[in-house]
């Protein structure tokens, strides 16, 4: 609690996320001169890999955005990068509970074979 009281009003950029201690929010972060690039849809990657790129970006941005407003603030650069790589479609905000596999009950529940 003391750490929080001393750090009020501070934000930290960590990897691709901006964390705000002041209001408890988090949002996507990019360095100002960085260029976003993704694997071209015309590349020789397996079709399943190419098909999952837009959805993966949507999930990642949704997870590191604390609200839909912050998600919408960040997606324009990512949409442009996807368009340059040949992908079409929309990016839409999904709250973390909806796109988390554990919440849907899709985790494996098999016993491990211990030798």
Pure H helices in 13-113: 47-63, 68-84
| pLDDT grade for 1, boundaries at 50, 70 and 90 | very low
Q: What's the CA gap between 85 and 80, in Å, rounded?
A: 9
> Over the chain, what is the mean pLDDT?
81
Each residue of 40-65: pLDDT tens digit?
988 999 999 998 899 999 999 899 88
Are 12 and 18 a contacting pair, CB within 8 Å?
yes
Reported as half-sphere exposure (CB side, CA atoms, 13 A), residue 70 has a value of 18
- At 71-97, the pLDDT tens digits run 888 898 899 999 999 998 788 888 866
Average pLDDT (13-39) is: 86
User: And the tokens for 26?
Assistant: 């988090």
Q: What pLDDT is recorded for position 45?
A: 92
């Amino acid at each position: 609690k003391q750490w929080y009281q001393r750090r009020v009003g501070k934000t930290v950029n960590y990897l691709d996320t901006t964390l705000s201690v002041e209001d408890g929010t988090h949002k996507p972060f990019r360095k100002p001169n960085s260029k976003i690039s993704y694997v071209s849809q015309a590349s020789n990657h397996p079709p399943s890999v190419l098909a999952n790129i837009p959805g993966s970006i949507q999930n990642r941005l949704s997870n590191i955005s604390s609200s839909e407003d912050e998600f919408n603030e960040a997606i324009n650069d990512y949409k442009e990068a996807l368009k340059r790589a040949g992908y079409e479609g929309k990016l839409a905000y999904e709250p973390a509970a909806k796109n988390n596999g554990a919440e849907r009950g899709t985790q494996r529940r098999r016993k491990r074979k211990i030798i």
